[in-house]
Amino acid sequence: MNFIRAFCIALAWLPVAALAHQYQLKSLSIDHPFTRATPPGAKSGGAFFVVQNASPTSDKLIGAASPAAGSAEIHQMAMDGGMMKMRAVTAVDIPSGGKLELKPGGYHLMLLDLKQPLKVGDKVPLTLTFQNAGTILVSVEVEAMGSMGPATHKQ
């Protein structure tokens, strides 16, 4: 009887756990990696997520790769002379006890030379490389065009 009760409680929590969509790599927590659906023929897309660093030392996101794209680059969107410009960067700091937000309009990963369009509901494998913590494979959920992340995503 206790087994059945425990099983039912676990099932009740399953949807909550699925919404979390988090990954752990040593002291780094990667929260809800997502990308947006792309129109047919699009050759690039962005990937977004939040990295929390619980370590007493800083770390850096230094690279990414995905079999869904020819390459992946870290990019930054910033105002320059009154115009929004995008540029590639080699690394992004994740402060000790702080977080790095990769989001539309800021730092993000560009998936270049997409092998096929990104469709809502698909999942894209993405390997993230950090200077100190190492590498981790995450699953990036494809959300609707223009998505800013799920409403349940709290930061």
SS3 for 75?
strand
Q: How far apart are CA 61 and CA 56, in angstroms?
A: 16
pLDDT, tens only, 5-39? 444 444 444 443 344 489 999 999 999 999 999 99
Supply φ then ψ for residue 23, to 5 degrees.
-130, 150
b/e for 113-134, b at 16 or more Cβ within 10 A? Answer: ebeeebeeebebebebebeebe
Residues contacting residue 127 through CB under 8 Å, at least 6 positions apart: 64, 65, 66, 135, 136, 137, 138
- First and final CA of the chain: distance in angstroms? 39
What pTM value is reported for the model?
Answer: 0.81
What is the model's pLDDT at position 144? 80
Tokens encoding 102: 């990769």
